[in-house]
Amino acid sequence: MNIFEKLSKLDRRWVFLILAVVVIIALLVDFKTPLRINKEVQSVYDFMEALEPGDYIQMSIDYDPGTIAEMHPMTYAILEQAFKKDVKVIITALSINGPGMAEKAMLDIMDSVRILYGKELVYGEDVAFLGYKPYPGIVILSMGQNYRISFPQDYYGTPVDDLPIMKGIINYDDVKGVILITGTSGVDFWISYANGRYDVELAVGLTGVMAADYYQYLRSGQIFGLMGGMLGAAEYELLVKKPGPAMEAMKVQVWAHIVIIVFIIIGNIGYFISRRKGGVS
């Protein structure tokens, strides 16, 4: 049995250990990785940049704590860009764990905009958080008629009509577009109902696991932008010139991927050697 065959039969716990060590070392060592901006991320940025002060966008923050590492950087970067440009943001959460994520992101960015840019954002005037409602498909359809059908009150119990930001805002026609940051299959409802039925300009930020499945909607024009996983988040951070956790994590991704590729190559060489010897059918 040669070295490749031995390595291909390596206890998988060694693989986990080596990967963990590489990730820890990469986190501790300071170095930069080059990033190339993809067209699908650039188009989200261009859309946000084209907005005028006073324009409205809707953000649907539909992810769970489990995907914070990938999703939070996108949400933070886009919210900060919107607030810097005086764009008004209506936030909804259509996944059950979304409200906590959305509220934290909103409050954190309101704080950081105040500290960094001296802008005192007012809840209800610059931003509104309508909260969570179950059954995303039905809620998305109802928001196409009137936000008040599903959200008569905001997350904090204030009637939506009492919020100055919602004066004159009836449905999707009154927002320039929807940016959906999600780790759930609710994105299908957004594409079918919001874009398909109401022609909403829709951009999505997805987990890495989901991203490859949604490029087809980009080509068909059902979504105009896509940020895929931590890479998409890092590209967006680069675009807004605000290096954050996603860009920082890219150096770790590079080394982790190298380790995985090396193990895949070793495993395959071991497999082919074994097959040639008749060990594997």
Partner 1 sequence: MRKAPIIITAVVAALFVLSWLLKSNGAVVDENSMSAISQGFWITLSAFLTLAVMSFLYQDNPFYKFAEHLYVGVSAAYWMCMGFWTTLVGNLVPRLSEGLSNWFEVPYVGFKPHFIIPLVFGFLLLMRLSPKGGWISRWSLAFIVGTTAGLNLPRFLSSDFISQISATFMPLLVNWQGIGSFFSDFSLSASGQFIGILSNLVVFLGVFCGIIYFFFSKEHKGAFGVASRFGIWILMITFGASFGYTVMGRISLLVGRLTFIMGDWLGLIS
Closest CA to 251 of 32, 72, 60: 32
**Does residue number 279 form part of the binding site for partner 1 (CB under 8 A)?**
no
Q: Which of 1, 69, 61, 77 is nearest to 243 (CA)?
A: 77
Closer residue to partner 1 (CB): 24 or 262: 24
| Residue at 148: amino acid letter | R
Near partner 1 by CB under 8 A, which window of 2-10, 170-178, 246-254, 267-275? Answer: 246-254
What's the CA gap between 220 and 278, in Å, rounded? 48
Span near partner 1 by CB under 8 A; candidates 18-26, 50-58, 169-177, 266-274: 18-26
Q: How far is the CB of 222 from partner 1 (least distance, A)?
A: 6
Helix (H) or strand (E) run with residue 90 in it: strand 88-93
Q: Which of 178, 249, 263, 270 binds partner 1 (CB under 8 A)?
A: 249
Q: Among residues 213, 258, 268, 272, which is the contact residue for partner 1, using CB under 8 A?
A: 213
Least separation in angstroms between CB 54 and partner 1: 29
How far apart are CB 52 and partner 1 at their closest, in Å?
28
Residue of the chain from 46, 125, 134, 156 that contacts partner 1 (CB under 8 A): 134
Contact between 270 and 4 under an 8 Å Cβ cutoff? The reply is: yes
Task: Find the part of the chain contacting partner 1 (CB under 8 A) among 49-57, 84-92, 244-252, 270-278.
Answer: 244-252
Using CB under 8 A, which residues numbered 31 to 60 contact partner 1? Answer: none
33, 43, 153, 274: residue in contact with partner 1 (rule CB under 8 A):
153
CA–CA distances in Å: residue 249 to residues 23, 60, 209? 10, 24, 17
Minimum CB separation of residue 211 from partner 1 in Å reads 5
Residue 274 burial class via C-beta count within 10 angstroms: exposed 0-12, middle 13-18, buried 19 and up: middle
By CB under 8 A, tell whether 94 contacts partner 1: no
Residue number with CB closer to partner 1 (51 or 250): 250
Q: Which of 185, 192, 191, 190 is nearest to 210 (CA)?
A: 185
Q: Using the 8-state DSSP alphabet, how is residue 195 labeled? A: I
Q: Is 116 in the site for partner 1 (CB under 8 A)?
A: no
The DSSP symbol for 205 reads E
Q: Which residue, chain included where needed, has tokens 């895949």?
A: 264
Token pair for 101: 């994520």
Token pair 């040639």 in the structure block, residue: 276
**Helix, strand, or coil here: 189?**
helix
Q: Is 171 in the site for partner 1 (CB under 8 A)?
A: no
User: Please, which residues have CB within 8 angstroms of residue 126's CB and are 6 or more apart in sequence?
Assistant: 83, 86, 88, 89, 165
Residue 157 phi/psi, 5-degree rounding, is: 90, 5
Among the listed ranges 14-22, 76-84, 168-176, 265-273, the one in contact with partner 1 (CB under 8 A) is 14-22
Member of 110, 178, 203, 230 binding partner 1 (CB under 8 A): 230
Residues near partner 1, by CB under 8 A: 13, 16, 19-20, 23-24, 27-28, 66-70, 96-97, 132-134, 137-138, 152-153, 157, 159, 188-189, 191-193, 195-197, 207-213, 216-217, 219-222, 228-231, 245, 249, 252-253, 256-257, 260
